[in-house]
Amino acid sequence: MKGEIKDLKGASFYIKRGLIYMVLILWSLFTFLPLYWMLVSSFIDPNSSASLQFTLVPKEFTLASYSYFFTFNKNVLRWLFNSLLISGVVTLANVFFASMAGYAFSKLRFPGRNAFFWTLMSSIMIPGQVTLIPLYILVVNVFNMSDTYFAIILPGVVSVYNIFLMKQYMTSIPSTLIDAARIDACSEFGIFRKVIFPMAKPGVAVMAIFTFVGQWNDFFWPFLVTKTSTMRTIQVGLSSFKFADSTQFGPMMAGAVIASIPMFILFFALQKYFLQGITIGAIKG
């Protein structure tokens, strides 16, 4: 694809490219540090205190921390399942609802549009610390949902951040396409499904990852509204490794490694969409 212009590239092109690579590699090595450290520490003996030390070169290698992690509580697999279920449902719900709302706010004209949008937006400008107790009273005392999946899922079913993200992403989809579809007598939902959603796929993929990761890593709310061990999420379960002054670092890190695998898988499954450049012609045809 790039073959035909290759002859035009001079030495300066390769120097530039080389520099870009160098900066990116050095930088990404640095950002990788926390992840690397997590991995190295997970291979340390659960009883060793060495993991608290920061070392670049691993001093020991044993899978003992992993087996410790899987055996210390009989519900470990259940926690993983809970997290998968909750994050999965929340992500799918957001993909569906936030992209619909994003479409309405970006491409449709209707009375009250701005009022609705700004009401939604201003709600994310209030720090969560002050709405925490009213929300808890509502979910636990009023709706009596304590210790259920609903208590964790419902407040996150559609996030204003995602609506805003989708609105911004869909803004640059040409309105002419929508008009054309309207002339072809597509219903609004048909337009959304056949025209908008496919074109917004890169944005939706990004949103799906953000939502999944955000929900997966959420700690305090699931911790607050669950009480039995079987209802806990993996992040809440992981925190129970902390004991008084000392922390069982090895198993905690082993758990963190296991807990990040689903996010890795989702990332690699969806990342191809981010690259997908969409040409208008392709959609029209």
Partner 1 sequence: MRARKVMAGTLSVILAGSLLLTGCGSNTTQIAKEDIVKVWTFPVEKNYAKNFDAVKADFEAKNPNIKIQKEELTWAEGGKKFDTTVNAGNPPDIMFIAPSAKYISTGLEVPVENYLDAKTLADYYPSGLEYMKVDGKLYGLPLYMKIQTMGGNKKLLEEAGIDWKSIQQNGWTWDQFKQLVKKGTKTNADGKQQYGFVFNGSGVDFSELLDHLNMNNGLPYALDKNSKYTYTNPKFLDTLKFIRSLITEGISPKEANQITPQKRMDYLYSEQAMIIFKAMPYYEVVIADNNKKVADKTAPAGQKQIDFVLLPEPHADGQQAAVLGGVDGYTMFKQKSYNGDQEQHLKNIAKVMVALTSSKAGASAVTLNLPQVTKSGEDMWKDKYTMSPENKAEVDRLFKTIVPPTQVNPDKSLKAIKIYDEVIKPDYQALLGGDKTPERMFQDVQNKAKELFGQ
Partner 2 sequence: MKKMADADNRWARNRQFIQDYGWSYIFIALPILIFLTFTLYPLLRALVMSFQTYHVMGSEWVGFKNYAYVFHRELFSKALINTLLYTLGTVPINIIISLGLALAIFQLGKKSQTFFKASFYLPAVASGVTISLVWLFIYDPMPEGLMNQFIHLFGFANVNWLGKVDTALLSLMFLTFLGGHGSGLILYLASLGGIPKTIYEAADIDAASTWSKFRNITWPLLKPTTLYMLVINVIGSFQVFMSAYLMTSGGPDHATTTIAYLIYQDAFEYFEFGVAAAESFILALIIVAISVLQFKYMGSDVEY
Contact between 58 and partner 2 by CB under 8 A: the answer reads no
Look at residue 246 and give its three-state secondary structure: strand
Cβ pair 237, 69 in contact under 8 A = no
Contact pattern for partner 2 over residues 204 through 223, marking x by CB under 8 A: -xx--xx--x--xx-x----
Contact between 89 and partner 1 by CB under 8 A: the answer reads yes
Produce one character per residue of 83-121: b if its CB has 16 or more CB atoms within 10 Å, e if not: beebbbbbbebbbebbbbbbbbbbbeeeeeeeeebeebe
Q: How far is CA 51 from the centre of its chain?
A: 28
DSSP calls for 93-139:
HHHHHHHHHHHHHHH---TTHHHHHHHHHHHTTS-HHHHHHHHHIII
Contact between 274 and partner 2 by CB under 8 A: the answer reads yes
Contact pattern for partner 1 over residues 90 through 119, marking x by CB under 8 A: --x---------------------------
Contact between 269 and partner 2 by CB under 8 A: the answer reads no
Contact pattern for partner 1 over residues 27 through 46, marking x by CB under 8 A: ------------------x-
Quick one: 121 or 270, whose CB is closer to partner 1?
270
Contact between 147 and partner 1 by CB under 8 A: the answer reads yes
The CA distance from 116 to 269, in Å, is 34
Of the candidate residues 113, 193, 227, 284, the single one contacting partner 2 (CB under 8 A): 113
Nearest one of 39, 74, 71 to 232, comparing CA atoms: 74
Of the candidate residues 161, 223, 267, 273, the single one contacting partner 1 (CB under 8 A): 223
Binding residues for partner 1 (CB under 8 A): 45, 47-50, 52-53, 84-85, 88-89, 92, 132-133, 136-137, 140-141, 144-150, 153, 219-220, 223-224, 227, 230-231, 239-240, 242-246
